[in-house]
Amino acid sequence: MYYQSESHSSSSVHGGTGAGDPLERVVRLASGSAVVIFSVSTCCMCHAVKRLFCGMGVNPTVYELDQDPRGKEIERALSRLLGGGSAVPVVFIGGKLVGAMDRVMASHISGTLVPLLKEAGALWL
Amino acid sequence: MASQRLGEAALSESGPSHHHHHIPYSLPHMLHHPNTSFIRNQEGSAFDFGELEEAIVLQGVKINNDETKQPLYTTVRPAATLEMFPSWPMRFQQHTPRGSSKSGEESTDSGSAVNTLSTTRLEPDSPISRKTSSDHRLPPPQPPPQMDTGSGVDSPRTGGSQTQPAAKQAPEKTLRRLAQNREAARKSRLRKKAYVQQLESSRIRLTQLEQDLQRARSQGLLLGGGGVAGGNISSGGAIFDMEYARWLDDDHRHMSELRTALQAHLSDGDLRVIVDGYIAHYDEIFRLKGVAAKSDVFHLITGMWTTPAERCFLWMGGFRPSDLIKMLITQLDPLTEQQVMGIYGLQQSSQQAEEALSQGLEQLQQSLINTIANGSINDNMHHMAVALGKLSNLEGFVRQADNLRQQTLHQLRRILTVRQAARCFLVIGEYYGRLRALSSLWASRPRETLIVDDSSCQTTTTDLQMVQSSQNQFSNF
């Protein structure tokens, strides 16, 4: 599991145009790795989703929003993206939004998660 | 008597000048409709021709089978409506679509007899102001000699097989629509009746529950240590218990339906309707649990809503999906290789998901323990507030666990064929039924002595066992 520290994430983001729009930043971060999880370090459901991917042998890139100076903005943007409710955890695979915990689990049970992971190069066999 | 009412109603509606027409109609009607279904279906005091025709058609036909409801409108015609479109030949009416269950028609012998009789209705004008809803059966004015029903039985049937060219397209659609409306109204009446009956039984159950609670409380057995205020079941919990009891009744009904359907070797299409109905039934309990989780998550997570034996295997407020799959693997039909792969895949993914959720819950528990343990004397309220905040996350975990259960059932449905799915759900239902029965047997097993003391009270009431379990609620984490 790769944890992006705040300095790391801000440096990777503040190149070029500058990240004015939090949603843009989300998209940029999400496209940066095969599996991206936006999380809050104290959130237990986030812990559960991280354990899920690790249990499958996947190494997700995790952004802890409570450790990011602009984390609050991102949280708000994510919450809007998900249609209200809790902003974290939210999972992107291959740059595409999968969703919150319930969508991730539904996708795993229905057998669509693993192909998605393989396609994104996060899982081999 | 119902048929007399028909006669009377017909009499009253058509006015005095038509008495002589109606009397012969009602007499044979009485001969051939000693049916109770008609009486049963009477709701309210108003006589409803729509109900009459439907009731007569349903005579001898299983109400559950939707297919047989189709030909409703191809039989009986109450006298009063016959006048509506006198120029329409009846045979045309009988041949209108949806003759799919001829069996339904065959069984209504008396229906056809009435048809015959109705053909004897002469054109005399009669009160056209009749309910327009029952106007799609038009009898052709046939030559009268069909008063005796014996000869009349077959003719409308055979007549029906010959299409009449007389076609009025627009009214036919109207007739069909009206028939559908009637059908829909009837179904909703039946549903309402069933619902009311359920409400009644739930009310009775609730009173019994309250009495049990009173008794137990008066014996000082319900302590406040279970985390519920004052030893009461919270209103959210009590409401859910009632809804769950009703759901169990529904479950029983669904299971009988499944069993009968499998034994009757219904077509896949019919079976699919029943199987999908069973899935919707499960979706319903998950929805109810979601609502209950908001008001009293402890009630769910400690399993106070289930029986003791089920509580033994409780995982996050319900059954453990991977356990269910493990049980099913041994019980399912011979599966294709692809299906076997699918089932094992489902088992693996549900195990992984369960593991993830369990670890998340464990972290919550640890965090909670730390918060409570580290509360200082000065800062107690703050720590309590923090602890309360953490507790509120429980609802999320129970919701996710229920989501997992629901998705598992849906995936089972996707992997299996209709017939396999029907058998599978029957197995599931029976399994939990046996588990519940085990709990009852355990509760009522004969014991040597009745010893009452603080820590281990031995009685045969199940609510006492609930108390004992509630004292260990944290072990369920």
A44 to B367: CB separation less than 8 angstroms, yes or no: yes
Structure tokens at B194: 């069933």
Orientation angle between helical segments B393-415 and B380-391, nearest 10 degrees: 10
Quick: pLDDT tens for B296-325: 999 999 999 999 999 999 999 999 999 999
Determine the average pLDDT of the residues in B192-203.
Answer: 91
Helix (H, G, I), strand (E, B) or coil at A96: strand
Quick: pLDDT tens for B231-251: 557 788 899 999 999 999 999
User: Who among A42, A48, A109 is closest to B349 (CB)?
Assistant: A109
Whether A47 has its CB under 8 Å from any CB of chain B: the answer is yes
Model confidence at B378, in pLDDT bands (50, 70, 90)? confident
Q: What angle do CA B451, B456, B458 make, to 5 degrees?
A: 45
| A51: closest chain B residue by CA | B356
Residues 6+ apart with CB under 8 A from A97: A30, A81, A90, A91
Report the run of H or E that residue A9 belongs to, with start and end: helix A6-13
B399 to A44: CB separation less than 8 angstroms, yes or no: no
User: Who among A42, A52, A106 is closest to B356 (CB)?
Assistant: A52
A109 to B361: CB separation less than 8 angstroms, yes or no: no
Q: Which residues of B touch A47 (CB under 8 A)?
A: 359-360, 363
Report the pLDDT value the prediction gives residue B114, as an integer from 0 to 100: 41
B315 strand-pairing partners: B318
> Rounded to an integer, what distance in angstroms lies between the CA atom of residue A69 and that of residue B197?
59
> Rounded to an integer, what distance in angstroms lies between the CA atom of residue B172 and that of residue B43?
28
What's at B264, amino acid-wise?
A
Whether B164 has its CB under 8 Å from any CB of chain A: the answer is no
Our measurement of the distance from residue B180's CA atom to the centroid of its chain's CA atoms, rounded to an integer in Å, reads 21
Whether the CB-CB separation of B99 and B71 falls below 8 Å is answered with: yes
B397 to A45: CB separation less than 8 angstroms, yes or no: yes
Determine the average pLDDT of the residues in B177-181.
Answer: 93
In sequence order, what DSSP letters do the residues of B220-267 get, joined into one string?
T---GGGSSGGGPPPHHHHHHHHHHHHHHHHHHHHHHHHHHHHHTT--
Which residue, chain included where needed, has tokens 């057995």? B221
**CA dist list (Å): A99 to A83, A90, A91, B207:** 11, 5, 6, 45
> Rounded to an integer, what distance in angstroms lies between the CA atom of residue B474 and that of residue B326?
27
Residues 375-404 (B) with a CB less than 8 A from some CB of A: 393, 396-397, 399-400, 403-404
Distance to chain A for B445, nearest Cα, Å: 41
Structure tokens at B256: 């009988």
| B408: closest chain A residue by CA | A109
| A56: closest chain B residue by CA | B352
> Rounded to an integer, what distance in angstroms lies between the CA atom of residue B163 and that of residue B1?
37
Residues 6+ apart with CB under 8 A from B46: none
Model confidence at B166, in pLDDT bands (50, 70, 90)? low
Quick: pLDDT tens for A60-109: 999 999 999 999 999 999 999 898 888 899 999 999 999 999 999 999 99
Average the pLDDT over each of A71-80, A115-124, B48-57 and give the range with the smallest value. Answer: B48-57
Distance to chain B for A107, nearest Cα, Å: 9
- What is the pairing mode between strands A61-64 and A96-99? unpaired
Quick: pLDDT tens for B397-427: 999 999 999 999 999 999 999 999 999 999 9
Q: Which residues of B touch A56 (CB under 8 A)?
A: 352
Beta strands (DSSP E) in A1-125 are 2-4, 35-39, 61-64, 90-93, 96-99
Rg value, chain A, Cα: 14
Q: Given a cut of 50, is residue B19 above it in pLDDT?
A: no
Model confidence at B89, in pLDDT bands (50, 70, 90)? low
Residues 336-365 (B) with a CB less than 8 A from some CB of A: 342, 345-346, 349-350, 352-353, 355-357, 359-361, 363-364
Q: In what order do the strands lie in the sheet with A35-39?
A: A2-4, A61-64, A35-39, A90-93, A96-99
Note the helical H segments in B96-234: 102-107, 109-119, 149-152, 154-161, 169-218
Statement: the pTM of the whole predicted model exceeds 0.90 = no
